[in-house]
Structure 1
Amino acid sequence: MTAHVIADDTEALAVAAALADEFRADASARDAERRLPRAELDRLSASGLLAVTVPAEHGGADVGAVTLAEIFRLLATADASLAQIPQSHFAYVNVIHRQGDDRQRKFFYGELLAGRRFGNAQSEAGTKHVQDIRTRLEARPDGSYLLNGVKHYSTGALFAHWIPVLARAEDDDLHVAYVPSGTPGVTVVDDWDGLGQRTTASGTVRLENVPVPADRVLPHHLTFRGPQLHGAVAQLLHAAIDVGIAGGALAEAAEFVRAKSRPWFEAGVESAVEDPLLIQRFGELAVQARASEALLREAARTVDAARADLTDDTAAEASIAVAAAKVQAAHAAVEVASALFEVSGTRSALDSLNLHRHWRDARTHTLHDPTRWKIQHIGRYVLTGTRPPRHGLL
């Protein structure tokens, strides 16, 4: 596989905008038919966008959080499923940034620049909670490992060249094993049947005595033993997807009203766009969407500032800023996607139009991480200065 190498932030944003326009054209049909976006992901790989966080000294654009968040927002305005697939890709690139040694970084950065995709095998079902990881890495005498476990919600694994697997070693510490797709013992099952984000292929990964060389295992537990931005960046990208869903839903609602809606007879106007109550509601929804975009940009700037001077205090500021952006974005995505029907009228509910995909995507994606806990951490930080905990979900 070969891929274009993006030079800088400006080019990255231009490429993302062009791909969003391209992906938007068939997004509704892909969702309605549950047609997996293999060709679109190959376009994404070839574009170079998946390598934009590779450091400059290794030949990458080394873009900041502001640019990365905007890339995800742009893609999500077009197709929230497609935007969701590389979220874990960048999260596990960050593990390499932080925990890889020079040889591991050189190898994986080369893979990224060639357009290789990371999936994920992280979450598990039937455990006590989301961080109760039971997949195991068993050390072998030669220093390599055997990997065993079952993963669920493995977004992107079906399309991945590498599947990062979150697992515990014999000391119970968390590690990430980077497993090539097609490795003996790895089975990826396309059994995702969510009401939204239908084409993320967030199915099951089974791991049965999977051999993993020692140099493909990174000590992820060390990420959280000091100030870190792993969780903030991962959550920033989730927030960007929600902001994109809200923006995409609002744009499609406006287009529908302009082209197909009739005014309510009591309004006494000739067209729906002159209806004062519709105008009022669109204004309210636009405020929600704009507030989400503003908080997303502010959170991304805070992450970039913390990256330049990483301390416990700057990391806490970044996590809190991202948490605030995520709360607002989740609310806006669900509200705007639901209000699409309110402002567009009865015809908008026709299943054949598939306008409900925005609400289904919003409702499904915003279940990832409960905003009620983010609000708790924000409140404690404001009242007592208590820093938020260090983990990958904040």
Structure 2
Amino acid sequence: MSAHVIADDAEALAVAASLAAEFRPGASARDAGRRLPRAELDRMSASGLLAVTVPADHGGADVGARTLAEIFRLLATADASLAQIPQSHFAYVNVMRRQGTPEQREFFFAELLAGRRFGNAQSEAGTRHVQDIRTRLEPRPDGSYVLTGVKHYSTGALFADWIPVLARTGDDRLHVAYVPSGAPGLTVVDDWDGLGQRTTASGTVRLDGVPVPADRVLPHHLTFEGPQLHGALAQLLHAAIDTGIAAGALVEAAEFVRTKSRPWFESGVETAAEDPLLIQRFGELALCTKAAEALLREAARSVDAARADLSDDTAAEASVAVAAAKVQAARAAVEVSSALFEVSGTRSAADSLNLHRHWRDARTHTLHDPARWKIQHIGRFVLNGTRPPRHGLL
């Protein structure tokens, strides 16, 4: 595989905008038929977009958080599933940046620049909570490891060249094993049946005695032993996806009202777009979306500032800013995608139009982690100066 190498932030944003325009026309049909976007992901890989956070000293563009968030927002305005698939990819590029040895970074950054993709095998079903990871990484006499466990919600794994797997060693410390897609004992099952995000293939990964060389394992537990931006960056991308869903739904709602809706007979106007009550509602929805976009930009700025001067205080400020962006983005995505039908009328509910994909994507993606806990941490920080915890989900 070969890929273009993007030079800087400006080129990264131009490529993202171009790909979003290319992916938008087929998004509804892909969702309706659950056609997995392999060709589109290959285009994304070839464009170089998936390597934009590779450090400059390894040949990458090393773009900032604000650029990365805007990339995800742009992609999500076109196709929320396509935007969701590489979210974990970038989270695990960040793990490699922070915890990889020089040799590991040299190898994997070259893989990324060549267009290779990371998936994920993180979450597990049937455990006490999301942090209860039971997949085991057992050492062998030769210094290598064996992986055993079952993962769920493994977005990107079906399309990946490398699958980062969260697992615990005998001392219960958390590690990440980077496993090649064809490894013996590794099975990726396409059994995702979510009502939204239908083409992410976020199914099951089974690990049955998967061999892992020692140089493919990173000590992820060290990430959380000091100030860190792992959680803030990962959550920033989730916020960008929700913000993009809201923006995409708003554009489609406006187009429908302008071209397909009839005015309500009491309005006394010739077209639905002249109805003062609809105009008012669109203004409200635009404000909701613009608030999400503004908080997203502010959160990304905070992450970039913390990255330049990382401390307990700057990391906490970034996490709280991202939490605020994520809460507003989730609200905007659900409200705007639902209001699409309110402003468009009965005709918009036709299943053949598939306008409900925006709401299905929003409702599914916003369940990723509860906004109520983000609000709790914001309140603790503002009222009592309590820094948010370092668990990777803030």
| TM-score, structure 1 normalization | 1.00
Q: Which runs of 4+ in 1 moved over 3 A?
A: none
Question: SS of 2:4's equivalent?
Answer: coil
Identity of aligned residues (%): 87
Question: SS of 2:207's equivalent?
Answer: strand
Residue 181 (structure 2) aligns with: 181
Question: Post-superposition shift, 1:378?
Answer: 0.2
Question: SS of 2:149's equivalent?
Answer: strand
Question: SS of 1:77's equivalent?
Answer: helix
Instruction: Report the residue type matching 1:53 in the other structure.
Output: T
Instruction: Report the residue type matching 1:224 in the other structure.
Output: F
Structure 1 gaps, min length 5: none
Question: SS of 1:26's equivalent?
Answer: helix
Residue 92 (structure 2) aligns with: 92
The question of 1:148 aligning with 2:116 is answered: no
Residues 243-274 of structure 1, C-alpha deviations (whole Å, 9 max, x = no match): 00000000000000000001100000000110
Instruction: Report the residue type matching 1:17 in the other structure.
Output: A
Query: 1 CA distance for matches of 2:392 and 2:21?
Result: 32
Residue 248 (structure 1) aligns with: 248
> Within 5 Å, which residues of 2 pair with 1:84-233?
84-233=84-233
Instruction: Report the residue type matching 1:316 in the other structure.
Output: A
Residues 38-58 of structure 1, C-alpha deviations (whole Å, 9 max, x = no match): 000000000000000000010
Question: Post-superposition shift, 1:194?
Answer: 0.2
Question: Post-superposition shift, 1:169?
Answer: 0.5
Number of residue equivalences: 394
Residue 306 (structure 1) aligns with: 306
The question of 1:45 aligning with 2:45 is answered: yes
The question of 1:284 aligning with 2:284 is answered: yes
Residue 26 (structure 1) aligns with: 26
Query: 1 CA distance for matches of 2:95 and 2:307?
Result: 15
Residue 354 (structure 2) aligns with: 354
Structure 2 gaps, min length 5: none
Query: 1 CA distance for matches of 2:246 and 2:133?
Result: 33
Question: Post-superposition shift, 1:179?
Answer: 0.1
Instruction: Report the residue type matching 2:183 in the other structure.
Output: T
Question: SS of 2:153's equivalent?
Answer: strand
> Within 5 Å, which residues of 2 pair with 1:313-392?
313-392=313-392
Residue 72 (structure 2) aligns with: 72
Instruction: Report the residue type matching 1:52 in the other structure.
Output: V
Instruction: Report the residue type matching 1:19 in the other structure.
Output: L
Question: Post-superposition shift, 1:356?
Answer: 0.1
Question: Post-superposition shift, 1:181?
Answer: 0.2
Query: 2 CA distance for matches of 1:392 and 1:216?
Result: 21
Query: 2 CA distance for matches of 1:237 and 1:230?
Result: 11
Query: 1 CA distance for matches of 2:85 and 2:219?
Result: 24
Query: 2 CA distance for matches of 1:69 and 1:319?
Result: 15
Question: Post-superposition shift, 1:391?
Answer: 1.4
Query: 1 CA distance for matches of 2:328 and 2:283?
Result: 17
Residues 36-95 of structure 1, C-alpha deviations (whole Å, 9 max, x = no match): 000000000000000000000100000000000000000000000000000000000011
Residues 213-253 of structure 1, C-alpha deviations (whole Å, 9 max, x = no match): 00000000000000000000000000000000000000000
Residue 273 (structure 2) aligns with: 273
| TM-score, structure 2 normalization | 1.00
Question: Post-superposition shift, 1:392?
Answer: 1.2
Question: SS of 1:386's equivalent?
Answer: coil
